[in-house]
Amino acid sequence: MASKSGDGRTVCALEFTVQMTCQSCVDAVHKTLQGAAGVQSVEVQLENQMVLVQTTLPSQEVQALLESTGRQAVLKGMGSSQLKNLGAAVAILEGQGNIQGVVRFLQLTPERCLIEGTIDGLEPGLHGFHVHQYGDLTKDCYSCGDHYNPDGTSHGGPQDTDRHRGDLGNIQADDGGRATFRIEDEKLKVWDVIGRSLVVDEGEDDLGQGGHTLSKITGNSGKRLACGIIARSAGLFQNPKQICSCDGLTIWEERGRPIAGQGRKDSAQPPAHL
């Protein structure tokens, strides 16, 4: 079993590189993170400039805590607290204006998928957030197809039994236009979403309850503002060099650079080894 925190969230491991030169830096990092709500344990390796955090916080919040010590921190990867690689993926979102973001998918347990990230450049407020069927951005976000819906059900909210599998509800942007979120979901699996796309919409998703003709189809959340292909990621506990791109899906090596590839343009299943 994956460890759970008191609030029912599943703990995951985040690995950061942090500029540290001496033991006082290590002490400062320990002092800042230990005792913070949502942080279960902290391991600091001065020689590797590495900080490993077991947490239920969004990675952006842990990064902000680390940087509050006056040091730069870079997230290198995330993994299940079970120290097993059950699958990981990442989507780099780009869109109109200055909208951009990074969203990570991590299979925490065979049942439960973590979707977490930060998107900047949004209007403050709620924005519909969905996995779409295709990883095809040839016509910007409009070639991504509909919400990922292999079960042929109606649109709904993430807590509903009757929903599209791609329905992740809303994310909320603050007054500065930043949305930081951490979602745990049992309908989506990492191996189902690789090669598809992630889209953030202009307006609020009514979760199927709005009474509009689009409520049961899209949640009536308006235009598609930004999108990105969901690419397989090395995660934390797998040697990226062992990953090949021979299946034609986009792969993102988080410790290095993106490796070009194509998203799904049809309903092909992911390779069996995922």
In the complex with Zn ion, the residue whose CB is nearer, 155 or 182, is 155
Least distance between Zn ion and beta carbon 220 (Å):
11
Least distance between Zn ion and beta carbon 160 (Å):
10
Applying CB under 5 A, among 71, 104, 127, 164 the residue interacting with Zn ion is 164
Least distance between Zn ion and beta carbon 164 (Å):
3
Q: How many other CB atoms sit within 10 Å of the CB of residue 238?
A: 16
- Site residues for Zn ion, 178-237, by CB under 5 A, read none
The span of 32-40, 42-50, 69-77, 139-147 binding Zn ion (CB under 5 A) equals: 139-147
Continuous segment of H or E residues that includes residue 66: helix 59-67
In the complex with Zn ion, the residue whose CB is nearer, 80 or 221, is 221
In the complex with Zn ion, the residue whose CB is nearer, 167 or 192, is 167
| Distance from C-alpha of 80 to C-alpha of 75, rounded to nearest angstrom | 15
The span of 81-89, 101-109, 163-171, 244-252 binding Zn ion (CB under 5 A) equals: 163-171
Continuous segment of H or E residues that includes residue 31: helix 23-33
Ranges of beta strands (E only) in 46-132 are: 50-55, 73-80, 88-95, 100-107, 113-120, 125-132
Angle between helices 59-67 and 23-33 (to 10 degrees): 130
- Binders of Zn ion: how many residues, by CB under 5 A? 4
Angle at 175 between CA 170 and CA 178, to 5 degrees: 55
147 binds Zn ion (CB under 5 A): yes
167 binds Zn ion (CB under 5 A): yes
Applying CB under 5 A, among 71, 127, 155, 224 the residue interacting with Zn ion is 155
15 binds Zn ion (CB under 5 A): no
| Distance from C-alpha of 106 to C-alpha of 113, rounded to nearest angstrom | 6
The span of 14-22, 39-47, 95-103, 158-166 binding Zn ion (CB under 5 A) equals: 158-166
* Inter-residue contact 107 to 189 (CB < 8 Å): yes
| Distance from C-alpha of 36 to C-alpha of 119, rounded to nearest angstrom | 24
Angle at 253 between CA 202 and CA 168, to 5 degrees: 30
Least distance between Zn ion and beta carbon 214 (Å):
10
**List of residues 6+ apart from 145 with CB closer than 8 A:** 132, 133, 134, 136
In the complex with Zn ion, the residue whose CB is nearer, 109 or 220, is 220
In the complex with Zn ion, the residue whose CB is nearer, 32 or 153, is 153
* Inter-residue contact 192 to 149 (CB < 8 Å): no
The span of 15-23, 141-149, 171-179, 237-245 binding Zn ion (CB under 5 A) equals: 141-149
Least distance between Zn ion and beta carbon 17 (Å):
37
Residues of the shown chain interacting with Zn ion in the complex, contacts defined by CB under 5 A: 147, 155, 164, 167
